[in-house]
Structure 1
Amino acid sequence: MTEQVNEKSHQKTTLAGGCFWCIESAFNCVNGIISATSGYMGGQSDNASYKQVCAGDTGHAEVVQLQFDSQVISYREILEIFFSLHNPTQLNRQGNDIGSQYRSEIFTHDAQQEELALQIIAEISQEQLFDDPIVTKVSPAVIFYCGEDYHQEYFKNNPENQYCQAVVSPKLAKFRKTFVAKLK
């Protein structure tokens, strides 16, 4: 017996929270995530490559575009995971990764996503979950530029990479403990 797929429940969201390797690795483990694709969004250039984006010349952020099944995981749950994976109080950086390409931004694909993103940011701010103010931007989604092939599933394919060992691996370990009930 094959499982019925309801494509009407498939949605898309695009998130920027520092290095896309961390965000993509975590979401690839989550039930209801159909795909997590690393790429670039939010810049002024008509093209975006890793070299250009890292140089800070295009204004793009490193992002992960998620396809998800809203009958399995809600947009709210995705944003709750997102805010646990990075520090939304750091402007144009995440830890030692510095530059606007590492900013915290939620690119919304419809009015409902925008409304919920702003609501969650207000809730987090009101609850004072962080010592500093939230700087996460909420913007309408624009052109998504898929990242180079070698960036897709980077952590899975390069677990011995020094950056992966020092940054991605500890974040994933913490994430897996916190969200064990949501894992595939």
Structure 2
Amino acid sequence: MTTNNLQIATLGGGCFWCTEAVFQEVKGVEKVVSGYAGGNVPGEPTYREICSGLTGHAEVIEITFDSNIISFEDILVIFMTTHDPTTLNQQGADRGTQYRSVIFYQNEVQQKIAQEVLKQIQPYYNDTIVTELSPLPIFYKATKEHQNYYRENTQQGYCSFVIEPKLAKLRKLHADKLK
């Protein structure tokens, strides 16, 4: 979807609270919405159903960004360097297909850019990148308590032990891309 210079990227890098927190700090990102995509059950899934791992959905974020400020390629480079794209269906202690690394592309242009970024990033990892690359299916927005999770719950242990190290990595590797 493109409206003037606004574009959308849909990415899953494990728990959506982590990826949401990372991209809320990136210059040119207008909005980040946590949700689910990629499943194969009818109807809108619930968080509980997603957590079961039985629906096939991944926890993802939908990023609305200004392509005049940040490119889709830069979004993907940040994504690929702030989570572990080499662990299948796992990020840290979070395990299951709902935590898989995935890029859901919107169109052929995004698909080609994603393929190129995956190829360019691979030499920086010792293990093979297992990030799924798929056309965007239906995106389901997560409920309110899952939106802006880090900003509203910084005192929670998960935020301190899991999200903050990802933010530190973002700040170290991509300081020039921060708000």
1:3 alignment partner in structure 2:
none
Which sections of structure 2, spanning at least 5 residues, go unmatched? none
Matched, 1:129 2:124: yes
Task: Give, in whole Å, the separation in 2 of the partners of 1:115 and 1:160.
Answer: 40
Task: With the length of structure 2 as denominator, give the TM-score of the two structures.
Answer: 0.96
Letter in 2 for 1:80: V
Aligned to 1:83: 80
Q: CA deviation at 1:111?
A: 0.4
What's 1:58 paired with?
A: 55
- What aligned pairs does 1:108-119 form with structure 2 within 5 A after superposition? 108-119=105-116
More off after superposition, 116-125 vs 137-146:
116-125
Q: Does 1:120 align with 2:138?
A: no
Residue in 1 aligned with 2:140? Answer: 145
Question: Aligned equivalents of 2:69 and 2:21: distance in 1?
Answer: 19
CA distance in 1, matches of 2:8, 2:16: 16
Match of 2:29 in 1: 33
Q: Distance in 2 between matches of 1:132 and 1:170?
A: 21
Task: Tell me, yes or no, if structure 1 residue 103 matches structure 2 residue 90.
Answer: no
Distance 2:155 2:47 in 1: 21
Structure 1 letter corresponding to 2:13: G
* CA–CA distance in structure 1, aligned partners of residues 3 and 99 of structure 2: 32
Deviation at 1:168, TM superposition (A): 0.4
Task: State the shift of 1:47 in Å.
Answer: 1.7
Matches within 5 A, 1:7-22: 7-22=3-18
The two structures, once aligned, show a CA RMSD in angstroms of 1.2
Letter of the 1:93 counterpart: Q
Secondary structure of the residue aligned to 1:57 is coil
Give secondary structure in 2 for the equivalent of 1:8: coil
Runs of 4+ displaced beyond 3 Å: none
Question: What is the alpha-carbon distance in structure 2 between the residues aligned to residue 116 and residue 173 of structure 1?
Answer: 26
Query: Equivalent residue for 1:181?
Result: 176
Partners of 1:103 and 1:134 in 2: CA distance: 12
CA deviation string 1:16-38 (max 9, x = no partner):
00011110001011111010100
What's the secondary structure of 2:124's corresponding residue? coil
Indicate the structure (1 or 2) with the bigger Cα radius of gyration.
1
1:25 maps to a residue whose letter is A
The equivalent of 1:49 in structure 2 is: 46
2:17 matches 1:24: no
* TM-score normalised according to structure 1 size: 0.93
- The residue identity in structure 2 corresponding to 1:160 is Q
The reply to whether residue 159 of structure 1 matches residue 157 of structure 2 is no
- Deviation, 1:182, is 1.1
The one-letter code sitting in structure 2 at the alignment partner of 1:163 is Y
- Aligned partners of 2:69, 2:154: CA distance in 1, in Å? 29
SS at the partner of 2:11?
strand
Q: Measure, in 2, the Cα distance between the counterparts of 1:136 and 1:37.
A: 20
Q: CA deviation at 1:179?
A: 1.5
